[in-house]
């Protein structure tokens, strides 16, 4: 199975540590959670965590893998989320799910992702940077698509492109990874280069931080 990480995504861990995430009294959702490693990590930060995947098999395996989990793990299609989830989550984590969808569905899926974010909430997007001419998923997520996530009251805080540290590469598609943080925070975060950025830091616009 290609998406069977047993550990949380290293960039999720890195981001949570860097930004000092604590979830007490806050809600989180992990989109396309697969076997649940990221959701377990987020729940471990104290968030009341929901995780969902369109694949019933993935959800069943996630439940089997984490039998005593505090995570609410459900089979849901991102394109048809329950109405009660609209703007319901203080933290939304999206890791390579948009990219699993055909590019023509990206606008609709991106809108669905955005609509999960509560007022003052944060959306963290981590994606792979596959060859632009890829003929199978993950499809490329363009910078315009990433920055397009910041609308409807959401501002981009940071877009970073970084190479995964060699000992943390767990599949070829993640050799180069992009992480975007979109939120309604009122002040920009400090610019921090990734561990192995390929090119210099670029500030895109007010309240957008980018390492490209
Ligand atoms: C490329 S995998 C990434 C899984 C996990 N986020 C990770 O980083 O290992 C994409 C995941 O998104 C799920 N997925 C695809 N389309 C989906 C949709 N419409 N709604 C919810 N999940 C979806 C797939 O079943 C799969 O588990």
- Tokens 């180069």 sit at which residue? 176
Nearest in space to 183 (alpha carbons), one of 69, 101, 89, 84: 89
pLDDT at 185: 39
156-177 mean pLDDT: 54
Residue 27's φ and ψ, nearest 5 degrees, are -110, 150
Q: What is d(CA 156, CA 151) in angstroms, rounded to the nearest whole number? A: 9
Low-confidence winner among 24-28, 65-69, 88-92, 147-151 (lowest mean pLDDT): 147-151
pLDDT at 49: 98
pLDDT at 139: 77
Q: Which of 6, 8, 10, 34 has most ligand 1 atoms within 8 Å of CB, for mutation? A: 34
Q: Residue 77 Cα, ligand 1 centroid: separation in angstroms?
A: 10
Query: Which residue CA neighbors atom 14 of ligand 1 most closely?
Result: 32
Q: Cβ distance 38 to 30 under 8 Å?
A: yes
Q: Residue 187 Cα, ligand 1 centroid: separation in angstroms?
A: 31
Q: Percent of the chain scored above 90 by pLDDT?
A: 45
Nearest in space to 62 (alpha carbons), one of 43, 45, 46, 80: 43
Question: Residue 128 contacts by C-beta under 8 Å, 6 or more apart in sequence?
Answer: 96, 99, 138, 173, 174, 176, 177, 178
Q: What is d(CA 140, CA 138) in angstroms, rounded to the nearest whole number? A: 6
Domains identified in the chain and CATH numbers: 10-211 (3.40.50.150)
Q: Indicate the pTM of the whole model.
A: 0.83
83-105 mean pLDDT: 93
pLDDT at 188: 35
2-12 mean pLDDT: 83
Residues touching ligand 1 (Cβ under 6 Å) are: 3, 5, 9, 32, 34, 53-55, 58, 77-79, 95-97, 100-101, 138
Q: Residue-wise over 15-34: b if at least 16 C-beta within 10 A, else e?
A: bbeebebebeebbbbbbbbb
42-51 mean pLDDT: 98
- Tokens 């990433």 sit at which residue? 146
Q: What is the pLDDT of residues 189-211, one digit of tens each?
A: 333 333 322 222 222 222 333 33
Residue 210's φ and ψ, nearest 5 degrees, are -140, 140
Q: Residue 40 Cα, ligand 1 centroid: separation in angstroms?
A: 16
Q: What is d(CA 37, CA 126) in angstroms, rounded to the nearest whole number? A: 14
160-170 mean pLDDT: 55
Q: What is d(CA 91, CA 28) in angstroms, rounded to the nearest whole number? A: 4
pLDDT at residue 39 tops 90: yes
Q: Which of 7, 8, 32 has most ligand 1 atoms within 8 Å of CB, for mutation? A: 32
Nearest in space to 130 (alpha carbons), one of 175, 91, 161: 175
39-49 mean pLDDT: 98
- Ligand 1 nearest-atom number relative to CA 109: 19
């Amino acid at each position: 199975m290609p998406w069977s990480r047993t550990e949380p995504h290293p960039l999720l861990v890195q981001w949570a540590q860097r930004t000092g995430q604590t979830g007490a009294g806050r809600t989180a959702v992990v989109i396309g959670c697969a076997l649940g490693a990221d959701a377990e990590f987020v729940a471990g930060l104290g968030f009341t965590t929901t995780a969902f995947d369109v694949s019933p098999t993935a959800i069943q395996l996630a439940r089997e893998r984490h039998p005593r989990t505090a995570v609410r793990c459900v089979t849901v299609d991102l394109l048809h989320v329950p109405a009660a989830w609209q703007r319901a989550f203080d933290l939304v984590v999206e890791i390579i799910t948009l990219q699993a969808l055909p590019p023509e569905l990206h606008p609709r899926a991106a809108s669905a992702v955005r609509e999960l974010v509560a007022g003052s909430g944060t959306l963290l997007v981590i994606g792979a940077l596959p060859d632009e001419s890829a003929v199978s998923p993950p499809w490329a997520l363009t910078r315009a698509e990433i920055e397009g996530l910041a609308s409807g009251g959401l501002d981009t805080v940071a877009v970073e492109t970084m190479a995964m540290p060699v000992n943390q590469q767990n599949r070829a598609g993640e050799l180069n990874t992009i992480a975007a943080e979109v939120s309604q925070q009122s002040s920009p975060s400090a610019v921090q280069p990734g561990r192995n950025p390929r090119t210099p830091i670029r500030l895109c616009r007010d309240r957008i931080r980018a390492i490209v």
